[in-house]
Structure 1
Amino acid sequence: MRTALRIALAASAALLTLGVAQAQEKTLRIGTEGAYPPFNNLTADGQLVGFDIDIAKALCDEMKVTCSFVAQDWDGIIPALQAGKFDAIVASMSITPERAEKVDFTNKYYNTPPAIAAPKDSDIKGVTKEDLAGKTIGVQAATTHFNYSTKTYADSTIKPYPTAQEYQLDLANGRVDAVNDDITVIEGWLATPDGACCKLIGAITPDIEIHGPGAGIAVRKGDTALVDQFNKAIDAIRANGKYKEINDKYFKYDVYGGES
């Protein structure tokens, strides 16, 4: 009997050890676009890099899970999450009521304003509806920036693009008069040789109903446990200095923004 009991206890201990090991080895699949520098981008050798990627890795470390990344076109990223292609989206996705009907969001992990850029010889003086009347504005489709441009710049032609790189190319080549995107994306591009053609016109005061309170991590509806894990991890890396370390790698100011 004692021998049988020892065998049973040993088997239980082995199963417990296996369960702990499996928990430690859990892989969290992260979906991201890979075409939105400096937040996420694919290098020439196929590596995903950027602020979103580094933040996701830091959060996974804090949560003690292994991260794997999946590149996904922006316009299909929410359907891919819903279909189970990955477990969470870390791709500079603004938290909006429309999206919150399809996914659940964490708290924000950054919040930066939108802006307008134009060629250096442009006569555009500001970012208002009147300033941009009669102009063609390039903007990435299916984004808060597209929604804002469509609503606000009613006297302009709004031209949607699949990626930021495509509207940037058209602005550089004179096929649009201006572009609308996150200020950090615009400033990052303007600092490159490809962006030498153009200038920042100015920042736009965010419309909370359109732009939301910032960028959050999206998970499938009802996955509240994962939301809670991410929120705790976001608070932790903000407190322990890891967030600032990543922030300072990409930006000269705190992109977290004011409390929302």
Structure 2
Amino acid sequence: MSARAWTAFAAVSTLWGIPYLFIKVAVDDGVPPVFLAWARVSMAAVILLVLAHRAGVLKPALARANARWLLLYAVVEICGPFPLIAAGERHIPSSLAAILIAAVPMLVALLALRFDRSERATGRRAVGLAIGFAGVIALVGLDVSGSSDELFGALAILLAAVGYAAGPMIINQQLGTLDPRGLMAVALSIATVLLTPAALLAPPTHTPSTDALLSIVVLGLLCTAAAFVLFGALIGEVGPGRATVITYISPIVAVALGVAVLGERPGAGAVAGLLLILAGSWLSTDGRLPPGVDRRLSRARGRLKAVFPDRQPEVVDDPIPRSTQMNPLRPLLAAVLIPAALFVAACGSDDDSSSTTASAAAPKPAADTSCQKANLSLVNSGQLTVATDKPAYPPYFVDDKPANGQGFESAVAFAIAKQLGFAPTEVKWTVEPFNSSYAPGPKKFDFDVNQISISPARAKRVDFSKPYYTAPQAVVALSKSDAANAKSLADLKNTKLGVQIGTTSLDATTATIQPSAQPQVFNDSNDVVRALKTGRVDAVVVDLPTAFYLTGAQVENSKIVGQFDAPGGDAWGALLQKDSKLTPCISGAVDKLSSSGELKRLEAKWMGAAAGAPELR
């Protein structure tokens, strides 16, 4: 591969590794899959039409002879895969979507049996493709539970992968002479026209959040416009089979984003998968290094040869053609990387078990199927019934509509439902007053989310899941006061603070803020509010949920200066009927959301700076 090809390969691998995260953000925000596809495609089409026109490469792509092939390409590469991937990510994690898309090179080899003899994977290329695909599986692992929703999501992604495999072959055989900018500009324009009717029929039911809008912009500008142009250039350099090897690198980018954004912790399987992917990708692209590295290695071999000359006589026959020349580093690196990956996979462990041998020797318990969707004990069969109070206030719910998925607790409820295998349309909301939610007796809901603190007294009458939220502390001040401009905890040291006696807020104030003067202490929350209104104190310290209530309903012209972590905050859990068989399943779902970083993401989105509660450090 040339330097140009390696540059395009690196760029496209990155640009097509990040969409899964942004697609997930958008569809979880409620953006319909077809509308999301239309928005990113139309944005990219406008940009590429301008670029192609200015470069003078648009006219050849508009030739009548190319029309049917451009239409076919637009359908199989864009109109099909884009909505399918977005629809699939409604039901499966973004990392799993990336893994399934990694089947594209294998599908290219399969389609080549019928459509493109030159792209058939044989010999070392076939071995490399197989090794790379095995590495992708080891990287994150397939986790389809068997529920109909997850199977639908996986099938949608695999169908998209078929389109991604066929698209490059169309370019290579029928459209290879066109400039990538002109080709992609016309293809995206065709796709925009084809997707418009469906997008008009399924618009968003609410204004997308800032995160969702930003995701659409990134998907349109970078992951579609820029990536398609670079991908077209890459196909022209190395052919469709080798070009689609980017699908082995893209999951690495997806996992890296999981670590950086979601707090995921790759284990030994991920390390082994990474090594296998490197070996497989390298073998399937002819086992050549980037030109700069190759030149340095050649000079090093030349110096070594001068010191230690070969004992073999010089060959005077014609050299072996380059296409069949065996790179001596190829089998060497493959022989190192593949056993290393197997060694890591064998020796590594994602568990903290003190005895790997004992664990391996112990018989595996039968799989627990009690939390599979079909086996759940529900109030209404095939439907998850979730309760909350009415009216439902922000930032926990938006527009008093729990079913719209907006607001922290609404988003958490739908995330739990998804972990259990329920689509949003299978979740039904019902009204349950706060005080009656934890009364003893049977319940008309499967679980309730309503800022309900877990307490020993309540736990005697109802069940709670593991906590999905632990309340931090917050500082509230009048908007026109000096304290309202504080940006850090240090800025509050000389502030006259008020706090209720006997609360975790008092402990947090003295231990974390450490004000220069003792905070003023009040007997109850009403006295705290009165002191803030009358100016007896510059600011008050309460937990964050109380701060939202103060600024939203009790104290006019006040603001949350910021929030900060402190021990002892109230923990909220999903409330269930006492001894409910569903309790361990809800707790398991919460555990998965916590370990994946999804709970933190939802908390940051709905309870952080965007909600008017920036973090104070």
Give the TM interval when normalised to the shorter protein.
Answer: 0.5 to 0.7
- Specify which of 227, 231, 236 is matched with residue 592 of structure 2: 236
SS at match of 1:219: strand
Deviation at 1:73, TM superposition (A): 3.9
Q: Indicate conservation of the 8 Å contact 2:386/2:446, yes or no.
A: yes
Residue 156 (structure 1) aligns with? 522
CA–CA distance in structure 1, aligned partners of residues 605 and 505 of structure 2: 34
Distance of aligned partners of 1:111 and 1:86 in 2 relative to their CA distance in 1, 3 Å threshold: same
Residue 435 (structure 2) aligns with? 75
Q: Indicate conservation of the 8 Å contact 2:505/2:541, yes or no.
A: no
CA–CA distance in structure 2, aligned partners of residues 108 and 244 of structure 1: 12
Mapping of residues 132-171 of structure 1, within 5 Å: 132=498, 148=503, 156-159=522-525
Summarize deviations over 1:195-238 as a string: whole Å, max 9, x none. Answer: 6534538758443xxx45x2211112111x21111112123334
CA–CA distance in structure 1, aligned partners of residues 592 and 504 of structure 2: 36
**Structure number with larger C-alpha Rg:** 2
Deviation at 1:52, TM superposition (A): 0.7
Distance of aligned partners of 1:95 and 1:176 in 2 relative to their CA distance in 1, 3 Å threshold: farther
Moved more, 181-190 or 235-244: 181-190
2:409 aligned partner, one-letter code? D
Q: Does 1:53 align with 2:410?
A: yes
Residue 96 (structure 1) aligns with? 455
Mapping of residues 2-13 of structure 1, within 5 Å: none
Deviation at 1:56, TM superposition (A): 0.5
Q: Does 1:106 align with 2:465?
A: yes
2:522 aligned partner, one-letter code? S
CA–CA distance in structure 2, aligned partners of residues 241 and 156 of structure 1: 38
Residue 445 (structure 2) aligns with? 86
Residue 142 (structure 2) aligns with? none
Residue 186 (structure 1) aligns with? 547
SS at match of 2:468: strand
The runs of 5 or more residues in structure 2 that have no matched partner are: 1-373, 484-491, 508-518, 610-617
Residue 200 (structure 1) aligns with? 561
Residue 477 (structure 2) aligns with? 118
Deviation at 1:97, TM superposition (A): 1.6
The runs of 5 or more residues in structure 1 that have no matched partner are: 1-18, 138-145, 161-166, 254-260
- Specify which of 48, 64, 87 is matched with residue 421 of structure 2: 64
CA–CA distance in structure 1, aligned partners of residues 598 and 561 of structure 2: 30
Which structure features the higher share of strand residues? 1
Residue 602 (structure 2) aligns with? 246
Distance of aligned partners of 1:190 and 1:54 in 2 relative to their CA distance in 1, 3 Å threshold: same
Q: Indicate conservation of the 8 Å contact 1:89/1:219, yes or no.
A: yes
CA–CA distance in structure 1, aligned partners of residues 589 and 455 of structure 2: 22
CA–CA distance in structure 2, aligned partners of residues 92 and 156 of structure 1: 24
Deviation at 1:107, TM superposition (A): 0.9
Moved more, 106-115 or 66-75: 66-75
Higher relative contact order (CA 8 A, sep 6+): 1
Structural RMSD (CA)? 4.8
Moved more, 238-247 or 70-79: 238-247
SS at match of 1:93: coil
SS at match of 1:70: strand
Summarize deviations over 1:8-35 as a string: whole Å, max 9, x none. Answer: xxxxxxxxxxx89x98723323234654
2:573 aligned partner, one-letter code? G
- Specify which of 227, 231, 253 is matched with residue 583 of structure 2: 227
Q: Indicate conservation of the 8 Å contact 2:476/2:541, yes or no.
A: yes
Residue 14 (structure 1) aligns with? none
Q: Indicate conservation of the 8 Å contact 2:532/2:540, yes or no.
A: no
CA–CA distance in structure 2, aligned partners of residues 131 and 90 of structure 1: 32
